[in-house]
């Protein structure tokens, strides 16, 4: 399911239609640069039904069938999703919107909107070379798990101007910098 609404930049007034694919998470957050002024626009999408439905299904066996039907009826009346945590934007009507942006929380690859209907369709047949993808994915995972914590420590020592610890941490990276 793709939900559609329009946002207006609070700085320059530029209007953008956003199309957001509803994913599996209870909360999804998206950001993009305003085409008018370049300011980051951010919004979150909350899916309150996922947790409620999971609780009802988990306790279904403990209650009579009438309880389950009553809960399903209550859930059907609840809002399906709601937008939260708007930053640098406000909701508006679609009239005057000059662009459309499509987001999908599960396929984070950028999409050329003129060529593809959705991010899923744009990335459905990727990767083409599975061995190469697995090798690169392994390198990305190693970078996140091994190098990023060390780099984060370096940044902390740099910001605090603790040069003794900075030099020590830099030597642990074994970059052979002279």
Q: Mean pLDDT in the chain?
A: 81
Residue 142, exposed/middle/buried by CB under 10 A (0-12, 13-18, 19+)? exposed
Give tens-digit pLDDT for 52-104: 677 778 788 888 888 888 877 877 766 677 889 999 999 999 999 988 888 87
pLDDT of 108 above 70 = no
Can you list the positions of beta strands (E) in 13-152? 15-21, 27-33, 40-46, 82-87, 89-92, 99-104
pLDDT of 28 above 90 = no
Q: What is the dihedral of CA 130, 131, 135, 138, to 10 degrees?
A: 50
pLDDT of 112 above 70 = no
What percent of the chain lies above the pLDDT cut of 70? Answer: 79
C-alpha to C-alpha distance for 126 and 103, rounded to whole angstroms:
18
Give the CA count within 13 Å in the CB-facing half-sphere of 67: 9
């Amino acid at each position: 399911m793709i939900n559609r609404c329009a946002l207006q930049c609070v700085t320059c007034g530029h209007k953008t239609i956003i199309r957001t694919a509803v994913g599996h998470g209870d909360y999804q957050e998206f950001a993009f640069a305003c085409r008018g002024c370049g300011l980051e626009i951010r919004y979150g999408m909350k899916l309150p039904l996922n947790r409620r439905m999971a609780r009802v299904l988990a306790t279904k066996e403990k209650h009579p069938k009438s309880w389950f039907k009553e809960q399903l009826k209550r859930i059907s009346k609840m809002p399906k999703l709601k937008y939260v945590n708007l930053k640098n934007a406000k909701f508006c009507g679609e009239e005057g919107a000059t662009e459309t942006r499509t987001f999908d929380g599960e396929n984070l690859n950028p999409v050329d909107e003129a060529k593809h209907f959705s991010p899923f369709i744009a990335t459905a047949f990727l990767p083409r070379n599975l061995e190469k993808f697995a090798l690169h994915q392994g390198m990305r995972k190693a970078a996140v798990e091994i190098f990023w914590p060390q780099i984060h420590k370096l940044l902390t020592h740099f910001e605090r101007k603790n040069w003794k610890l900075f030099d020590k941490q830099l030597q642990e990276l074994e970059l052979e910098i002279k």
